[in-house]
Amino acid sequence: MNVVAAGVLVAVFGAVMLRQVLGRGPPVWVAFGIGAVATVGLEVLSPIGAFAALVAATPVILFLFALFVFARALERAGAIDHLARWLLGRAPSPRDLPAVLFVGFGVASAFLLNDALVLLGVPLLLGVARRLRVAATPLLLTLAFAVSVGSVATPFGNPQNLLIASASGLSDPVATFLRYLLVPTAINLALGAWYLRRVFAARLAEAAGATVGTPEPRVPFWPRGGWTARLASHPALAIFPVTLGVIVGTSLLAPIDARFALPSWMVALGGAVLVLALSAQRGPIVRRVNGTVLLLFVGLFVVVAGAVAGGVVPALEGIFPIPAPGATPGALGAIVLTSLLGPQLVSNVPWVALQIPVLAHLGYGGSTPLAWMALAGASTLAGNVTLLGAASNLIVAEVAEKDGSPVRLGEFVRYALPLAAMTTAVLFVTLWLGW
């Protein structure tokens, strides 16, 4: 094992951990950027090797860029705010808000990148809490839990799923995710809605001073009238659902007819480019794209490629032993357990980036979809163990603290652990049964 490669990896991930625990140090994307420069500068990876890593990262980065464009365009169109008000209007009383929000944001996170969704959701829920005169913490925790559970179902629900879809060797990732993860996600959304209503209902009702009464006026899901002008001003309202339909449709039809085999990232990028071409607000949309997340992935791919080239990744197999393909229950259990605990050290996206070459080295590939679905599902549900398990949690905590409504680690873990235990058990059982 290359000691320099190991040192770079430890330094980068150590900086990430310190940032998450102490709130000090360089931003995560800066840490990975410095790590990438060090990987090449210290000759852990040649410039050609770094270039190859960036070529491999291109589909993921372009897919992320496309999703950010859609999210920002929908935000400017008022679609996210309207969806939130529609969801709030479904709650018969304040005590029902957690269940309604959990299911609503959970479903939305399967189609909109969860990091982008929480950036939009936190300010909305802070405003709701002020209007209802209730504590914001239960609503913010509900949001954080929802996007971790709901984003499991699709390759475009979160960054780690995108990594798995692009690097696992799966020939039809969208169909594979839906085949194995849609059922456990649906069960977990129902289970989580029941659990959160149970633990937060009395607290919200008491704070609101009532147990009945609609907290938000009901609005129709489809606004009435004005659609011609609305679509002309905000073409993303039509292009986004069409793009999603094409991605899902081509994925389902590709095994039947190879002519439908279109890479999902190309379809998403085409839709995003069309939005920018037709929108008069393309400048504000592009400026609001989260460029630091894209830079994080650039650095991440180079650092992980250096760890693979330096023999660090094979050495990890001895620390977190995973059986070779074949012993399905044991392998599934090992992957689920390590994927649940590992992200608590470095967050789920870096953990998945490290685990992909580990599993590939052990012989997992396109013919072993259950292993990849276990990695995707458990690493995403790891966000419901501690605040450190997912970048989306840190976004919630950071934005909430700036508003004066901090989310404390102890309170997060108190409500998160039971939910994580239930949802992980559902994931393991359904994968084991092959549902």
Phi, psi of 431 (to 5 degrees): -70, -40
**CA-based nearest residue to 21, from 347, 298, 403:** 347
**What is the pTM assigned to this prediction?**
0.79
Read off the pLDDT of residues 280-339 as tens digits, 9 standing for 90 and up: 888 999 988 878 778 888 888 898 888 888 888 667 666 667 777 765 678 889 999 999
Residue 316's pLDDT is 66
The answer to whether 188 touches 426, Cβ cutoff 8 Å, is yes
Residue 214's pLDDT is 46
Read off the pLDDT of residues 217-272 as tens digits, 9 standing for 90 and up: 677 878 887 888 889 889 999 999 999 888 878 877 766 766 777 888 899 899 99
Residue 255's pLDDT is 67
State the 10-residue block means of pLDDT for the chain, 435 residues long.
86 78 76 92 92 87 86 85 75 82 92 79 78 83 96 91 89 90 97 94 65 58 83 92 86 71 86 93 86 83 86 70 73 91 81 87 89 96 90 77 74 94 97 84
R_g of the chain computed on alpha carbons: 21
Residue 149's pLDDT is 97
Output the CA–CA distances (angstroms, integers) from residue 35 to 31, 64, 163, 246, 307, in the order listed: 6, 21, 19, 38, 11
Domains of the chain, residue spans: 59-220+229-290+317-433
